[in-house]
Structure 1
Amino acid sequence: MQPLLSVVIPTHNRAQYAIHAIRSLLAIDDSRLEVVVTDTSTDARLAAELEANPSLANSPRLRYIRPTERLDMTGNHNAAVGAATGQYICLIGDDDTIAAEALDAAQWALGNDIDVIAPDVVANYAWPDFRSRHFGMGHASRLYIARKFGSVTCLDSSDALRNALRGAAQGTDGLPKIYHGIVAKRVLDSIKAVSGNYFHGSSPDVSGAIGLALSTKRFVKLAYPLTIPGASGGSNTGRSAVNQHKGKLSDEAQTKGFEAKGWSAGVPKFFSVETVWAHASLETIAKIDASRVRDFNFAHLIAICKVLHGEYATEIEQALTEAASILGVTKASLQSEIDADIGRIKRKRVLHVAQRLLRPTAAGGRFYVGNLATIEDTPPVLADQMRRRGENWSKMAAAAQVVIRTSAASAH
């Protein structure tokens, strides 16, 4: 029988996290679930961990794959989704997990012909080795859960894409998304048929979101904890938290292959969260609908890079020249737009710092449960908190059903 939901996990040399993610997923006693792990590790530790745990390794719901060809991060993500056989796909990291109710959400999506559920992050876990620049280990071993959630909206994908490009595609918020989303596999297969693969560029999560925005009409966005993102010390999230997520393209496995192929024009040629997101966005647009490249807000991207990464002035100046050429404007006019945007960005950053200072603890007023050793510990804690609050997927689905009917009526 075809699985309903495939949870896919690409991993590389991170067995200390991935084994707990796998255990957590297989602890969900539901035959509708398939777990797909593509492991490009060179240390063979995860393979050894699974061999030492036959109850995991022999589970009929686990597809553990060691690709024979050498794959970069994006290639590994493409392999993971390609190996999945479920009707719906949920892509997560190797330090993440899902709530059991994600399967009920996928069943609801199937019954209502919903292509994409894009949940907001309302629950997240910090591993014991997670550190932040301002609070050190203050977040470590905590599961944070939003005090309020339950909102649901039905959004137009083209509007979401327009807003994302206006913001230089800095993240996946407001977009239909596969990373911690629930997406019909047939939609992902259609993206591959048009563009040659599921993901492009150096950020699979951003590429996936942009690809879905280009390939779907509408999606459901809701604030409900269907998944639990984790943040570990060695992850990109962990590196960003201590301001170590930048460098030369050639020094990062995530980007060096793309530098050799030719980095996207108009994107500064250095490694950072902002440039990687922009690169993935532009590479995906170029593969699916190249006419939309000019809708990308190059001025905003360059302004962000000037504010946050001034040490890469040469690379930023080159990107400015390339962007002016793409847009058919003079460098002087584009620079004027950038200068105005820099002022807005700086003011926004000052406001953010001021607001954070009002709540000077690591939690910042958020609810959390502490002393959780691994991601395995989080689903039971989340389920207990949901019961205490009287929240469940049936209640969320009923609210979503009303929104969908209203949206359909207004569309006609």
Structure 2
Amino acid sequence: MRPLLSIVIPSKNRYSTLINLVQKLLDWNSSDYEIVIQDNSEDNAPIKDFLINYNNDPRLKYFHNLNHVTVCQNSEDAIDNSSGEYVCFLGDDDGIIKQSLDIVKWMKKHEVDSLNCKQGSYCWPEYRYKNCGKKKSLAGMLIYHSHNGDLYQQDAISGLNSLLENGCLTLNGITRLYHGIVSRETLNLLKAKTGTYFPGSIADMSSAVGLVFFAKKHYYLNFPLIISGASGSSYAGKGAKKNNHTAFEHQPWFAKETIEEWSDKLPKRIVGQTVWPDAAMSALKKVGHADLISKLNFPLIYAEYLSEFPEFTEDFELFLQLRYSVEEVQAIKVQINSYMKRIARSKWRYWAKVYSIYFGINKFLNIERLDANSVGEVLTKLESKVENERKTGNSHFYQVLNS
């Protein structure tokens, strides 16, 4: 029998978080879902004993590819090896609560193509922000803003326009497979058009932008159905410690074409502030909407890039001179300076949130906190909280759960 939901988890060399997540997901009292682990680790010995314990559980599918593949290819293989009517793509340090199955049943009943949600953020205990201790790094905590449980339809194209205006530097409420839920039919439409579920250098941004044009009925849930995790060895963990940028020419986790087709409007540095816009541009080209690239806010991209990596300022000056005219450089610098002020305010708000948690006054900022030593533990706590509240909750979210 075909499962309703496939939870696909591409992974490489991160068994401690992966095993904890999968153990928790297999606790769900349902046969309506499957978990697909797509493992590209060099040595899978550490997971073999764990797999033996679940040998007879048809909900768990494990695939190991010893040969190196790109991150996108590993993710592609994960989806191809899944069979659910809907797909949710998680990282191996992320999480999703069991009540998500009720939401997916609602999606099927109402022929919803994709769903995005307000996420919670969980920092694993070993996570550290540069020069900060455990508590100021929010390590061992689930943090999420208070939610109202609203469930409403969104215009994906409007969301894309907003994404482009903000430089494609972070994902908003648009369609998304990574940390979202998408129908198999919608995914197949994207692949039929582009030859892949991930038409760009990174999976999250490229699939999100590509799916915009195929998800006709898209909803947003104002509830932390999905938990975005950050472990010490993840990209987020390396970014917090400023260890997330490397040499441009040799990137074994990217397809060769990513380097060869790199836009001349982006500095040749592999960092979040360049790869996310690059992935968005690639997706727009492959789905036949390259004209929308003109809406991408490059001055904001440059401002975020310099704010995060001021050590690249000298190289960036040369980049501007080689890419733009003198008049254009002057205009761009004015815009960068303006955006820098906005970025500074954003960073101030972030640290205000951190210190509100640090001093235990986060409730005044409508921020919720749950302490836990793993994603498995934090999912259990959040699921329990949902069950306690569903008896009295009257939001759209609880109406779906109780229907």
SS in 1 for 2:6: strand
> What is the aligned partner in structure 2 of residue 192 from structure 1?
191
Structure 1 residue 337 displacement after superposition? 3.9
| Residue 296 (structure 2) aligns with | 296
Q: Which amino acid aligns with 2:126?
A: D
CA pair 391-375 structure 1, distance change in 2 beyond 3 A = farther
Equivalents in 2 of 1:21, 1:288: separation in Å?
Answer: 34
Q: What amino acid sits opposite 2:208 in the alignment?
A: A
Displacement of 1:234: 0.5
Report Cα offsets for 1:253-296 as digits up to 9, x if no partner. 43474555432332211111111101111111111123323332
Paired position in structure 1 for 2:89: 91
Output the CA distance in 2 between the equivalents of 1:205 and 1:379. 22
Who is 2:369 aligned against?
368
Check 1:193–1:46 CA distance in 2 against 1; reply closer, same or farther (3 A cut).
farther
Q: 1:380 corresponds to which residue? A: 380
1:308 to partner: Cα distance:
3.0
User: 1:191 deviation in Å?
Assistant: 0.5
SS of 1:247's equivalent? coil
Per-residue CA deviations over 1:90-149 (Å, capped at 9, x if unaligned) read: 00000112111111111100100100110111x232211111136421122222343333
The answer to whether the 8 A contact 1:127-1:230 is kept is yes
Match of 2:37 in 1: 37
Question: 1:270 touches 1:312 (CA, 8 Å); kept in 2?
Answer: no
Q: Distance in 1 between matches of 2:391 and 2:337?
A: 43
Name the CA distance, whole Å, in 2 between partners of 1:295 and 1:212.
18
Partner of 1:127 in structure 2? 124
SS at match of 1:277: helix
CA shift for structure 1 position 385: 2.0
**1:185 and 1:359 mapped to 2: Cα distance?**
38
Asked whether the equivalents of residues 24 and 97 of structure 1 are also in contact (C-alpha less than 8 Å), the reply is no
Q: Which residue of 2 aligns with 1:116?
A: 114
Q: Distance between the aligned counterparts of 2:354 and 2:58, measured in 1? A: 48
**For the Cα contact (< 8 Å) 1:158–1:217, is it kept in 2?**
no
The separation in 1 between residues aligned to 2:134 and 2:329, in whole angstroms, is: 40
Asked if 2 retains the 8 angstrom alpha-carbon contact of 1:10 and 1:38, the reply is yes
Where do 1:331-410 residues align within 5 Å? 331-356=325-350, 358=352, 361=355, 363=357, 365=362, 366-370=367-371, 372-390=372-390, 395-397=395-397
Of 99-108 and 59-68, deviating more is 59-68
Q: Is the 8 A contact 1:118 1:175 kept in 2?
A: yes
Match in the other structure for 2:169: 170
**Contact preservation (8 Å) 1:299, 1:334:** no
Point out where structure 1 has 5 or more consecutive residues left out of the alignment.
Answer: 325-330, 402-412
Question: Any conservation in 2 of the 1:8–1:92 contact (CA below 8 Å)?
Answer: yes
Letter in 2 for 1:224: F
User: How far apart are the structure 2 equivalents of 1:387 and 1:146?
Assistant: 19
Cross-structure match for 1:405:
none
Compare 293-302 and 74-83 and name the one that shifted more: 293-302
C-alpha separation in 2, matches of 1:216 and 1:281: 17
* Deviations, residues 167-210 of structure 1 (Å, cap 9, x unaligned): 22111113211111110011111101100100033321111110
Is 1:305 paired with 2:309?
no
Is the CA contact 2:149–2:397 (under 8 Å) kept in the aligned structure 1?
no
> 1:323 & 1:210 partners in 2: Cα distance?
26
How far the C-alpha of 1:323 sits from its partner, in A, is: 6.6
Change (3 A) 1:49 1:250: farther
Residue number in structure 1 paired with 2:268: 269
CA contact 2:149–2:398 (8 Å) conserved in 1:
no
Q: SS of 2:54's equivalent? A: helix
- Rounded Cα–Cα distance in structure 1 between residues aligned with 2:353 and 2:29: 40
SS of 1:307's partner is helix
1:360 to partner: Cα distance: 5.6
Unaligned runs of 5+ in 2: none
Query: What pairs with 1:239-258 in structure 2 (closer than 5 Å)?
Result: 239-250=238-249, 252-255=251-254, 257-258=256-257
- Report the counterpart of residue 15 of structure 1 in structure 2: 15
Q: How does the TM-score come out when normalised to structure 2?
A: 0.88
- Which of 74, 79, 98 is equivalent to 1:81? 79
Distance (Å, rounded) in 2 between the aligned partners of 1:11 and 1:392: 39
Could you tell me which residue of structure 2 aligns to residue 410 of structure 1? none
Distance 1:258 1:242, change over 3 A: farther
Q: How big is the alpha-carbon RMSD for the aligned residues of Structure 1 and Structure 2?
A: 2.7
SS in 1 for 2:268: coil
Deviating more after overlay: 265-274 vs 189-198? 265-274
Does structure 2 conserve the Cα–Cα contact (< 8 Å) formed by 1:95 and 1:375? yes
Q: Which amino acid aligns with 1:202?
A: S
